[in-house]
C-alpha cells in the first residue's frame, strides 16, 4: 500500500492544536499516514541512541502499557530508546507518531525503514518539517525535538546522557508548560547522567505506570 506525502501549512484546519501553541511551530508539515488535529493522550518517550538493554526494555514496556491505556506514543524513530518506544506502542495496537530529522523520502536511520512502514500500516504517522527530498543533517535533529515536545502533553525521558537530544526535547517541553517525567537510573550509569540531572532540576520521578497515569488524572 502506498502512503502519499501530504503537506499542510500552519493555517490548515487540521494542523495539530498542541503544536500550533509552541513558540516556533513549523510553518509547514509533511505527513505520511494519519495525523489528527487532536491526538488522544499524546506522550513523547525519548532517550539515548546508545541505550542499555534495560533502558530499551523500559521504553518498550512503558509504551506498551501506555498504548493499552489509549495513549498516542510520539518519538523520533532513532536507534535505542526511540525505536523501542515505537515498537512497544505497535505491540499494544496503539497509535505511534515518528518525527523525522530528514525528509520523508529519506528514512533515518535506514535500518528503521521496516519500522517506519509498520507505523504507517498500523495507522500511525511519519512527519517532518523538511521537504521529502531533504536528507538527514546534524542540525535538523535538535530542531525536530521541539516538534516532538510540541505534539505532546508530556515528555517521558528514559536513559539520557549529559549531552543528549532527549534533554533538548525535555527543555522545549518544560518551556512550553508540558510535564517532564524521568525514570531514575544508577548514578554510575553514564548513559543516564542527563536523566538524573533533570530530576535534580525538578522533573517528576517515574518508577511505575501509575506515576504517569497520575499526571493525566487517570487510574490504573
Tens-place pLDDT, residues 116-142: 999 999 999 999 999 999 999 999 999
pLDDT of residue 211: 96
Asked whether residue 162 is domain-assigned, the answer is: yes
Asked whether residue 143 is domain-assigned, the answer is: yes
Specify the CATH number for the domain of residue 192.
Answer: 3.40.50.450
Percent of the chain whose predicted confidence (pLDDT) is above 70: 100
Burial letters 154-170, b for 16+ CB under 10 A, else e? bbbbbbbbeebbbbbbb
pTM: 0.96
Residue 218 pLDDT > 90, yes or no? no
Asked whether residue 6 is domain-assigned, the answer is: no
Domain that holds residue 179: 17-214
pLDDT of residue 220: 62
Asked whether residue 137 is domain-assigned, the answer is: yes
Number of domains present in the structure of the chain: 1
Asked whether residue 163 is domain-assigned, the answer is: yes
| pLDDT range class, residue 110, cuts 50, 70, 90 | very high
Asked whether residue 9 is domain-assigned, the answer is: no
Asked whether residue 2 is domain-assigned, the answer is: no
pLDDT of residue 1: 73
pLDDT of residue 174: 95
Determine the Cα–Cα distance for residues 220 and 166; give it in Å rounded to an integer.
27
Asked whether residue 166 is domain-assigned, the answer is: yes
Amino acid at each position: 500500500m502506498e502512503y502519499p506525502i501530504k503537506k499542510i501549512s500552519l493555517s490548515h484546519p487540521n494542523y495539530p492544536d498542541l503544536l500550533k501553541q509552541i513558540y516556533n511551530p513549523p510553518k509547514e508539515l509533511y505527513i505520511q499516514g494519519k495525523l489528527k488535529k487532536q491526538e488522544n493522550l499524546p506522550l513523547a518517550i525519548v532517550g539515548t541512541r546508545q541505550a542499555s538493554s534495560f533502558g530499551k526494555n523500559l521504553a518498550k514496556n512503558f509504551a506498551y502499557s501506555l498504548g493499552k491505556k489509549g495513549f498516542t506514543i510520539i518519538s523520533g524513530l532513532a536507534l535505542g530508546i526511540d525505536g523501542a518506544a515505537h515498537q512497544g506502542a505497535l505491540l499494544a495496537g496503539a497509535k505511534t507518531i515518528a518525527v523525522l530529522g530528514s525528509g520523508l523520502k529519506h528514512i533515518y536511520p535506514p535500518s528503521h525503514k521496516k519500522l517506519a512502514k509498520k507505523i504507517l500500516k498500523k495507522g500511525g504517522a511519519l512527519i517532518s518539517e523538511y521537504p521529502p527530498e531533504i536528507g538527514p543533517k546534524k542540525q535538523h535533529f535538535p530542531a525536530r525535538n521541539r516538534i516532538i515536545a510540541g505534539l505532546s502533553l508530556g515528555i517521558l525521558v528514559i536513559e539520557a546522557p549529559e549531552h543528549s537530544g532527549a534533554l533538548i526535547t525535555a527543555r522545549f517541553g518544560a518551556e512550553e508548560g508540558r510535564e517532564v517525567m524521568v525514570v531514575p537510573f544508577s548514578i554510575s550509569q553514564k548513559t543516564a547522567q542527563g536523566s538524573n540531572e533533570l530530576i535534580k532540576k525538578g522533573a517528576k520521578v517515574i518508577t511505575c505506570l501509575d506515576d504517569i497515569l497520575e499526571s493525566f488524572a487517570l487510574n490504573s
